[in-house]
Amino acid sequence: MKFKDILGLSLGNLKRRKWRTVLTVTGVFIGTISVVIMLSLGYGLKQSMTEQINSFGSMNDIMVYYDGSDSSMQITDDKLSEWEELPFVSSLYPELVIPVDMEQGKWALSVIIIGLPEDILSEIPIGEGRMPSVANGELELIMGNQMICDVYNKNTYEYPYWDNNQLADFDFLNDTVYSKFTKESSVKVDDNGNLVNTARKKIIPIVAMVEGGVEEYSKYSYAAYAELDILKNYIKKVYKGEAIPGQPTDRNGNPLNYWVYLMATVRVSDKDMVEDAVAYFREMGYRVDNSQEWLEETESMLNIVQLVLGGIGAVALLVAAIGITNTITMSIYERRKEIGIMKVLGCDISDIGGMFISEAAFIGFLGGVVGVILSYLLSFILNVVAGPMASIALEMSDATLSVIPFWLPFVAIAFATMIGMLAGYFPARKATRMSPLLAIRNE
């Protein structure tokens, strides 16, 4: 028998029992929607997480931290030159971290100035303002776009942002900002017994803001940035032989004659070597952070989440499969006489089985197609309606809730069709085993 004819007979049959077909297809498309949407939520979560992790830094960068305990492990310029020679290192740079207090009128805030080499500094995306000029050796800062949130009223100790969700009227770029460094010699106890910093106020120009609004977090959001060598010179001058905060001292409490960094970023030349590089520094006893590692961990966790979500959808599809089996069984029962006639007239047994399996497969296929179409609709609605809420809940800027990968609709339709075939298989086998004598007996 021709495949076309088998299909024709099955389709005719589905058409004749329209209502029942529609109901069974409904079961399948609900199942398909469940699977697709559940998976798409998983993919959405994955994509949002990946984007977020990427915003923390390049996958090829590994962060090596010095925890201050073992002085032989101090990250110094000498050590950095050594590391630079390692085969997997393409470049590396230290981060010099200097705390400073800033003031303007009644407003104050504590800032961490991070010193970076010029080429790394230039990677910072700038919003308003201009890049600090390095040529004249003047210290200039790029201010993190979320630093405004840390501004407090130095009289009342109120934080406009955190307490009242308002922004302080503090314009880093245009107001005159006074900076005070904390020195041992400058910290005094006042009449009321409070510690006060009597250091001279300095004006360090802030020439740029990091790109992004107050709500847009990136790894540059919460610090001020300056060129490393200029910062070093400046700080040396400010402290003039006094201990620098964050820098270790010798046994007598005097500053060292070299810089110690708490962190260095090592850029690995090849993505595949990141794992080895991480292992190398860990072996030496450093704490190491890497986005890729984090991403992998997050991914494996999200895979489980997705599996669970997909499983929930699969249960719905299983119920639909039972519906298909039921429908085909009914269809066979109704047509048992017809099946008998066909056998007497010489219809191949496998063709009879094929007729019912293709009937079931078509129900699955139709349910799959309708399910996929409705899934796209639902996914769209979810992203528009629930997306913004999810962004807030997950503390992400712009989280996409539901993402349907391009291959998912095809796989979903194929899967639904296959489920249909499987659900139709057992009743179809029963049909092929029915005695043709049913057709002959006269009732």
Partner 1 sequence: MEKQLEKKVVIDVEDLYKIYRVGEEKVRALDGVSFKVFEGEFVAIVGTSGSGKSTLLNMMAGLEPPTKGHISISGKNIEKLKENQLVSLRRKRVGFIFQSFNLIGSMNAEENVALPLMFRGVSKETRIKKAREMLEVVGLSKHRKHIPTQMSGGQQQRVGIARALVVNPSIIFADEPTGNLDSVTTSEILDLLRELVNEQGKTLVMVTHDKELADVADKVIHIKDGKITKIEIKKENIENEKIEEV
Rounded to a whole number of angstroms, the minimum distance from the CB of residue 441 to partner 1 is: 8
Rounded to a whole number of angstroms, the minimum distance from the CB of residue 403 to partner 1 is: 46
Rounded to a whole number of angstroms, the minimum distance from the CB of residue 5 to partner 1 is: 5
Closest to partner 1 by CB, 294 vs 425, is 425
Closest to partner 1 by CB, 1 vs 126, is 1
Rounded to a whole number of angstroms, the minimum distance from the CB of residue 411 to partner 1 is: 33
Closest to partner 1 by CB, 213 vs 346, is 346
347, 431 in Cβ contact below 8 A? Answer: no
Rounded to a whole number of angstroms, the minimum distance from the CB of residue 14 to partner 1 is: 12
151, 160 in Cβ contact below 8 A? Answer: yes
Rounded to a whole number of angstroms, the minimum distance from the CB of residue 417 to partner 1 is: 24
Rounded to a whole number of angstroms, the minimum distance from the CB of residue 332 to partner 1 is: 15
434, 339 in Cβ contact below 8 A? Answer: yes
Closest to partner 1 by CB, 275 vs 338, is 338
Residues forming a β-bridge with 352: none
358 CB-contact burial (10 Å; exposed 0-12 / middle 13-18 / buried 19+): buried
One-letter amino acid of 307: L
Closest to partner 1 by CB, 194 vs 442, is 442
Binding site for partner 1 (CB under 8 A): 1-2, 5, 12, 16, 337-338, 341-351, 435-437, 439-440, 442
Closest to partner 1 by CB, 2 vs 251, is 2
Rounded to a whole number of angstroms, the minimum distance from the CB of residue 10 to partner 1 is: 13
CA distance 437 to 434: 9
CA distance 204 to 173: 11
DSSP letters, 330-395, are: HHHHHTHHHHHHHHHTT--HHHHHHHHHHHHHHHHHHHHHHHHHHHHHHHHHIIIIIHHHHHHHTT
Closest to partner 1 by CB, 257 vs 442, is 442
Closest to partner 1 by CB, 81 vs 435, is 435
Closest to partner 1 by CB, 12 vs 137, is 12
Three-class secondary structure of residue 261 per DSSP = strand
Cα 224 to chain centroid, rounded? 26
The token duo for 430 is 């029963």
Rounded to a whole number of angstroms, the minimum distance from the CB of residue 4 to partner 1 is: 8
62, 264 in Cβ contact below 8 A? Answer: no
Rounded to a whole number of angstroms, the minimum distance from the CB of residue 433 to partner 1 is: 9
CA distance 197 to 189: 9
Three-class secondary structure of residue 103 per DSSP = strand
CA distance 150 to 167: 10
CA distance 268 to 283: 17
Q: For 189, which DSSP code?
A: E
CA distance 260 to 96: 8
Closest to partner 1 by CB, 13 vs 292, is 13
Name residue, tokens 């949130």.
149
